[in-house]
Each structure stands twice: as structure tokens, then as C-alpha cells.
Amino acid sequence: QVQLVESGGGSVQAGGSLRLSCASSTYTYTIPCMGWFRQAPAKEREGVASFDSTGAIRYTDFAEGRFTISKDNAKNTLYLQMTSLKPEDTAMYYCAAEPTLRCQGRGPVPGLYNYWGQGTQVTVSS
């Protein structure tokens, strides 16, 4: 069982930055895949960024060049640094983890992840 707790969300103006954190109850170096996802009202959950134990990092097109995923195994924490935020980035952001290898090399596909945090809200105003 992996428990994940996100933090760092908030309200910012367009062009601003935020850093999201996700604290894991399990040693992050033991988790094959971890990623960030988001869900806006009336929309499906979508992947933002992920990396797996092979070292592969993948970003969804909208995140490429603006968002950076990272992990600190000493703190068992996953991060998402977001810059140049846009109003369309407004959503609930979730951290997720998958303890099996099915996610390897697949990128941030929501259906491949079994453990989810409660989410942290990001609101970007124009």
C-alpha cells in the first residue's frame, strides 16, 4: 500500500510558477513509476509527466518545456515544478504511483497507475 499526499497548490496569475510536492509513505526508490496527473472540471483525468525506474522521463505535450518532474529519494518526495502557467492549466493535480512494471516506458497514462493522492488544486487567473 502506497500513500501519497500532495501539497503546494494555490492560486497564481498567468505567467507565474508553482512547485507541487508529493510525499510518499513508501521509499520512492522502490516504486517503479511515479507521475503527475490533472483533472479539470468536466474533463477526463490526463497525464502531465512521469518517470520510471529505467530513468525515462516523459511529458505530455502541453507540459513539455514548462513543467519539470523530479524526485528526491532521500525525502521520499516527488515534485512538479510548473512555470509560465496559463489559465488552461487550472485543475486538480494528482500524484500517482504504480508498484508493478506495467507502466515502464508507457508515460503518464492514468489507467496504469494504482495509487493516488487526494490532489491539490491549482488555479491560474488571467
Q: Is 104 left (phi over 0), alpha (psi -120 to 50) or beta?
A: beta
Q: What is the pLDDT of residues 77-109, one digit of tens each?
A: 999 999 999 999 999 999 999 999 999 989 999
Indicate if the pLDDT at residue 55 is higher than 90: no
Indicate if the pLDDT at residue 76 is higher than 90: yes
Q: Rounded distance, CA 112 to CA 103, Å?
A: 6
Looking at residue 112, its pLDDT comes to: 96
Q: Rounded distance, CA 50 to CA 43, Å?
A: 20
User: Mean per-residue pLDDT for 66-71?
Assistant: 97
Looking at residue 46, its pLDDT comes to: 98
Indicate if the pLDDT at residue 53 is higher than 90: no
Indicate if the pLDDT at residue 54 is higher than 90: no
Q: What is the pLDDT of residues 4-45, one digit of tens each?
A: 999 999 999 999 999 999 999 999 999 999 999 999 999 999
Q: Are 78 and 22 in contact (CB under 8 A)?
A: yes
